Each structure stands twice: as C-alpha cells, then as structure tokens.
Amino acid sequence: MLSPPGGTQRCFQAILLLALIVFLLAGFLHRDIRLFEPLLWGQAEGPPVINVMFLKTHKTASSTVLNILFRFAETHNLSVALPAGSRFHLGYPWLFLARYVEGLESPGPQRHFNIMCNHLRFNLPEVQKVMPDDTFYFSILRNPVFQLESAFAYYRKDVPAFRAAGSLDAFLASPRTYYHRGAGLRNAPARNGMWFDLGFDNDAPADEAYVRARLADVERRFQLVLIAEHLDESLVLLRHLLRWRLDDVVAFPLNSRSPRSVAGLSPEARARARRWCALDWRLYEHFNRTLWARVRAELGPRRLRSEVARLRARRRELAARCLQDGEAKNGSQITDRRLRPYQSGVADIMGYNLRRDLDNQTRQMCLRMVTPELQYMAHLYARQFPGKPPKNIPFLEE
C-alpha cells in the first residue's frame, strides 16, 4: 500500500529540519561540524580498503602494526605476501625482489596479494609485481634516537659495529671507530636504519637537495606515514583512511622490551645520535609534521580526541577480558610456549598470557591479538599454502 504523498513530504521535511538543527547547534557551540558526520552520514564512506602494503621498518613499533594487518587478513580471508620457503623475511637486507614471495614461482598469470607487511627493503618496481594497482601504501617511523637505542639492544650480537662497541654510549662517542662501510649490509641497522629500509643509501651525505628529493619520493609513494610516538593518533587516522572498524585497529604492544632493558641516554648522547643518524632525523621531523597536518585536515582536533579515547577504552576493555593480570609479562613468564616471543641480543621482549576462563570464541579473538610475529606468520603460511612444508621456528623447539 502506497504512503500518502503528504506523509512522505512531512518525513522529508523532518529530516531536513533535524539536519539543520544539528548544524546550527554546532555553530552555536563553536564545535567542529565533522564531529557530527558519523551521525549524519555514517562512519565509513564506501567499502573497506583490502589491498594494503605496509613497509615494516625496524624497531619502530611495526610488529604491533603487523599484527593488526595479519588479523585483518585472517578475519577477511585475504591473501598475504609471505616469505618463500623457510625464510622469515622478504630478502632483507637486500633490496626486495618479487621472487622472495611464496607463490610467485608458479606458472600462469602473475599473482597478486591483498596484504604485504613483512620486513623488506623497499624496491617499488618489484613490490608492484606483487601488489595490485590500487594498493594503499603506508609505513611507520620512530624518533631516531630511541630507534637506534632499541636497535643496539636487539642487534648487539649480530651487527659488527655494535658488537665491537662495549655500550651504546661508547659507540656514539666515536661511531666511526666501530662502523666501517666494508662490513656492507650487515652494519645497516647501525646508521640511518629507517632511511635504509626505504631503499635509500644510509651512508649518503645529508645534502639538502638530496634529502628533499628523497622525502618527495616517499610522499609520492606512501599515502600515510605513522609515527610510533603517536601511535594511537596514527591508528585513528589509518582507520579513517582504510574505512576499517574500531576493533580492526585495536592492538596490544608486541615485540616491546621490558623497562629494565631500555638504556637511558644523556642529552649529549642523544645529540650525537641525531647527528650520526642525520638522514633518519630529517625523515622523522618531516613526517611527524605531515602526520599532524593530515590529522587536522582529515579529522580535526575534537574528533581526534574522541576517537583516540574510544580506541584506548576498547584496548583496556580487551586487555581485561583477554589477558592474565591484564598486562604484558617478561618472556620467561609466558606459560604457553607457542606464545613466547623471540628473544634477541640483550633485549627482554615482553609477551602475554591469556586468561584461562575464556570461551572458545573469545579465546580465538584474544589469541590472534597476542600471537608473536614469527608464530603468526608461520600460522598464516600453513593456512595459505597447506601443500608446502610448514615453517619451523627453532627457538620454540629448544
């Protein structure tokens, strides 16, 4: 039965009146009208972005972001560009080649993947052989002083320049005593590691024209660069751009160190680190500025505060629901061997114990959030390539 024309008209007029009232109230209260957009038009404008390439830089909270992407891929049954064979990275520290990805050696049409997020050294032409044309590219940076401190703790036994120095203070007091270009790529984490991950020369002089050109290269290719010191704000913006749900970007910190294994640095040592990693410092300063400019343009301060508060509240809620004692534990305290994080160098990597009273559905959700990087990658590999030998994780067999 058709509605009377007058009733339809009155309904339409009521909707217009409601919208007008909201706009007037916003102006009267001096509030950013973008706060009301989710109420008027809905949170997302279009379907979620499913083709995503994340350049996973080293020691930048990138393992937490990788967990977000792995979970999204598994939840939505998306394909992930995973390291071929028994490897756990995509050719790092060499420049990435498409043949490092499992499944690309198969005959027939070129295969593309939805998600790419394992460690690699960026090489755009080869990445484009793996990812679709409409891929969303993003990465993450961290203050180079603290990134270098973390790299020293994590790679102290593996990087020649770090191994030769007794401490980070000693290294920074005279870095060229320990850092020799003859060691090649093995010394990459010891200087401008994030610049190196982007595919650039980490030993290049910090010439102004060169630096500006490389920053422009990054801006052209990456739609977003997160900042580790402002991870929650970064994730809110990422969620907005990808049109994902709140729970898609809620995460617990992964691969983070216990406070006792974090070295304090004097102001002099910090200044030396900024000079030694001058390219990383320019990179960080530039994209820290662009992040906040992007946040202001896309969200506005009031909406940002509101969404960051929601993100943190949801993280607290899930921590209370999922985690034993609601917090991270030292690696030696993890009771389930499958959830023990890899320990490297002198770093004490934290992990999580799950509560024992979880129902099956909740346990599965929580398990995805606390599974360490190597174990999650091995899980996805077995799921995606059931006919291939599984990836073995040696430290879990010790």
Model confidence band, residue 109 (pLDDT cutoffs 50, 70, 90): low
Rounded CA separation 209/83 (Å): 36
Helices (H) and strands (E) counted in the chain, each on its own, are: 17, 4
Rounded CA separation 297/280 (Å): 26
343 near 331, Cβ under 8 Å? yes
Q: DSSP code of 329?
A: B
At residue 218's C-alpha, the angle toward residues 241 and 186, to 5°, is 120
pLDDT greater than 70 at residue 280: yes
Q: How distant, in Å, are the alpha carbons of 79, 94, 178, 191, 276 from that of 181? A: 38, 15, 10, 11, 14
Average the pLDDT over 293-309 and give the result. Answer: 96
pLDDT at 387: 95
Q: How distant, in Å, are the alpha carbons of 109, 233, 378 from that of 338? A: 37, 31, 11
Residue 338: strand, helix, or coil = helix
Each residue's pLDDT tens digit, 23-54:
454 444 343 333 344 433 335 578 999 999 99
Rounded CA separation 207/225 (Å): 23
Sign of the alpha-carbon dihedral angle for 309, 310, 316, 320: positive
pLDDT greater than 80 at residue 11: no
Q: Residue 123: which residues within 8 A CB-CB, separation 6 or more?
A: 95, 96, 97, 199
pLDDT at 278: 98
Give me the half-sphere count of Cα atoms (radius 13 Å) on the Cβ side of residue 60.
Answer: 28
Rounded CA separation 375/381 (Å): 10
Tokens representing 347 are 């770093």
pLDDT at 20: 54
Average pLDDT, the chain: 90
Each residue's pLDDT tens digit, 173-206:
999 999 998 888 999 999 999 999 999 999 999 9
This model's pTM is above 0.75: yes
Q: H helices within the chain, ranges in order?
A: 5-28, 37-41, 62-75, 124-127, 144-155, 160-164, 168-173, 175-178, 193-197, 208-221, 231-242, 246-249, 267-276, 278-298, 301-322, 360-370, 373-384
Lowest mean pLDDT among 85-99, 107-121, 249-263, 381-395: 107-121
pLDDT greater than 90 at residue 146: yes
Residue 89: strand, helix, or coil = coil
Architecture of the CATH domain 52-396: 3-Layer(aba) Sandwich (3.40)
Residue 336's nearest CA partner among 288, 375, 285 is: 375
**So where are the chain's domains?**
52-396
pLDDT at 106: 61
Average the pLDDT over 333-344 and give the result. Answer: 92
Average the pLDDT over 71-86 and give the result. Answer: 97
Each residue's pLDDT tens digit, 239-269:
999 999 999 999 999 999 988 888 889 999 9
